[in-house]
């Protein structure tokens, strides 16, 4: 099958009436899982259910036979680095959107890891304007918590919220000053702002390059102890309790962090968490023979941590799965392991790696899809991630059982830094629809 990605002219075309029939409709928000069809009218969903078939359809309706494939809400990725402005040699909003479309992702929340940092209203408007001009999918900016992500002076959280920032984060920069994060969480309650924080005690992890343990010792690499994450998770939760603010812990990876989040939720605190597919699919052994494509922050952890994380996704302790898409050029990755940049690309492998947990029997399809549709949409306050009448016609059609092998040369991202090269996977997107218009399909 040949991938076909729409050009930007598709956004100027009028969205017509389309009927998707013979589909397995899966909507995590309503727990719908049934055979039926879905009708779009322009940019919205007009109707759906078992009664939507080819019978009685008007002649002006385009019919797409899903042939039993899953039709679900388009994926919502609440954490991706699109690098524009400042690092366009690694990624742009346009190339990132092409990569997202291939992966079945219809909405991206992009991180402020740019130059200049997204820390004022003009930069929020810049991202929104560039997305309108160049993106095939929806892109929403996440603004910085502190000026230039230095962890010192708070940004204008209220103005940025009004301008369109869907959340606040300093990316991989931990706010080490507890009083700064306390003030942010407290002030943010006025605007119901969500603060996405990277929890890492930087003085403890220091110049570490991978998980601290037997593997790092054997490879002679400086380690980043699991405690560096758990200590900061514990601190951040106390600050959330103190202020009543909305704290979202980014990419948690350890058993102890999971326990802390689980306890915080049980006490009714406004604490949520996400993780990324690579922490669910790989452990520290993936570093192997100094594979820099497996160098991420936080690092890949021990197998016990990985298994606990899968269970935490299943039981809802971990709310969302994010791509944590972090593109890097070859010069940044083809370095000695300690000097190489942290991060991997993940937009095109997120869906199949989430489906891997379903195929392995760890959780239901509905639960797995909730983590990449309705849950992140709800956290960000977006009208997305649902199959229901009058909802945006943002859809993904995917073949649950289609076998394929990761080929990084075929990635639409400008960067190819993925540790999954050659990995056999089962399931992939066959059609991605944004605002009723097909932006990607396999022909």
Over the stretch 405-423, which tens digit does the pLDDT of each residue have?
A: 999 999 999 999 999 999 9
Distances (CA, A) of 232 to 16, 171, 227, 301, 403: 50, 15, 8, 17, 40
394 catalytic? Reply is no
In this prediction the pTM is 0.97
Rounded to whole angstroms, how far apart are CA atoms 388 and 45? 7
- Residue-level pLDDT, tens digit, the chain, 443 residues: 788 999 999 999 999 999 999 999 999 999 999 999 999 999 999 999 999 999 989 989 999 999 999 999 999 999 999 999 999 999 999 999 999 999 999 999 999 999 999 999 999 999 999 999 999 999 999 999 999 999 999 999 999 999 999 999 999 999 999 999 999 999 999 999 999 999 999 999 999 999 999 999 999 999 999 999 999 999 999 999 999 999 999 999 999 999 999 999 999 999 999 999 999 999 999 999 999 999 999 999 999 999 999 999 999 999 999 999 999 999 999 999 999 999 999 999 999 999 999 999 999 999 999 999 999 999 999 999 999 999 999 999 999 999 999 999 999 999 999 999 999 999 999 999 999 999 999 98
Sign of CA dihedral 225, 153, 235, 298: negative
Tell the burial category of 139 from Cβ atoms under 10 Å away from its Cβ (0-12, 13-18, 19+). buried
**What is the b/e burial string over 38-74, where b = at least 16 CB atoms within 10 angstroms of the residue's CB?**
bbbbeeebbebeeebeeeebeeeeeebebeebbbbbb
Return residue ranges of the chain for CATH 3.20.20.140. 74-380
* 3-71+391-442 CATH choice from 2.30.40.10, 3.40.50.2300, 3.30.70.260, 2.40.30.10: 2.30.40.10
Topology, domain 74-380: TIM Barrel (3.20.20)
What is the pLDDT at residue 2?
83
Query: What is residue 383's DSSP assignment?
Result: S
Question: Smallest Cα–Cα separation from 115: which of 151, 79, 152, 90?
Answer: 90
What residues contact 76, with CB distance under 8 A and at least 6 apart? 105, 106, 107, 109, 372, 373, 376, 377, 380, 382, 384, 385
pLDDT in tens, 272-315: 999 999 999 999 999 999 999 999 999 999 999 999 999 999 99
**Burial level of 290, CB count in 10 A (0-12/13-18/19+)?**
middle
Task: Kindly name the residue from 119, 305, 319, 324 that is annotated as catalytic.
Answer: 324
- Per-residue model confidence (pLDDT) at position 143: 98
What pLDDT, on a 0 to 100 scale, did the predictor assign at position 3? Answer: 87
Residue ranges, CATH 2.30.40.10, the chain: 3-71+391-442
pLDDT for the residue 115:
97
Residues β-bridged to residue 3: 442
């Amino acid at each position: 099958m040949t991938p076909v990605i729409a050009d930007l002219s598709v956004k100027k075309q009028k969205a017509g009436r389309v009927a998707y029939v013979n589909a397995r409709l899966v909507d995590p928000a309503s727990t719908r899982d049934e055979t039926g069809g879905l009708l779009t009218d322009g940019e919205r969903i007009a109707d759906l259910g078992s009664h939507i078939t080819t019978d009685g359809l008007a002649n002006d309706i385009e019919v797409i036979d899903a042939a039993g494939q899953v039709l679900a809400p388009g994926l919502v990725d609440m954490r991706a680095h699109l690098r524009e402005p400042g690092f366009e040699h690694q990624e742009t909003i346009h190339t990132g959107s092409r990569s997202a479309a291939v992966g079945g992702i219809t909405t991206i929340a992009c991180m402020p890891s740019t130059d200049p940092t997204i820390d004022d209203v003009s930069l929020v408007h810049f991202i929104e304007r560039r997305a309108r001009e160049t993106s095939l999918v929806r892109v929403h900016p996440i603004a910085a918590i502190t000026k230039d992500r230095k962890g010192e002076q708070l940004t204008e959280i209220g103005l940025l919220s009004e301008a369109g920032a869907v959340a606040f984060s300093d990316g991989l920069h931990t706010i080490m000053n507890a009083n700064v994060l306390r003030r942010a969480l407290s002030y943010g309650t006025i605007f119901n702002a969500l603060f996405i924080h990277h929890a890492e005690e930087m003085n403890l992890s220091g110049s570490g390059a991978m998980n601290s343990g037997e593997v790092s010792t054997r490879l002679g690499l400086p380690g980043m102890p699991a405690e560096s994450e758990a200590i900061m998770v514990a601190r951040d939760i106390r600050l959330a309790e103190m202020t009543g603010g909305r704290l979202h812990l980014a990419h948690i990876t350890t058993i102890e962090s999971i326990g802390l989040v689980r306890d915080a939720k049980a006490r009714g605190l406004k604490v949520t968490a996400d993780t990324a597919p690579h922490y669910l699919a790989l452990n520290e052994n993936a570093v192997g023979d100094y594979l820099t494509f497996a160098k991420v922050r936080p690092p890949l952890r021990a197998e016990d941590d990985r298994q606990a994380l899968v269970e935490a996704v299943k039981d809802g302790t971990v709310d969302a799965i994010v791509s944590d898409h972090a593109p890097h050029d070859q010069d940044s990755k083809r370095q000695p392991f300690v000097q190489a940049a942290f991060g991997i690309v993940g937009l095109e492998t997120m869906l199949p790696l989430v489906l891997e947990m379903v195929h392995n029997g760890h959780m239901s399809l509905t639960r797995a899809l909730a983590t990449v549709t309705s849950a992140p949409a709800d956290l960000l306050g977006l009208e997305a991630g649902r199959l229901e009448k009058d909802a945006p016609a943002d859809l993904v059609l995917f073949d649950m059982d289609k076998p394929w092998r990761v080929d990084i040369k075929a990635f639409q991202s400008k960067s190819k830094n993925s540790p999954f090269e050659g990995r056999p996977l089962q399931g992939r997107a066959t059609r991605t629809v944004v605002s009723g218009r097909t932006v990607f399909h396999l022909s």
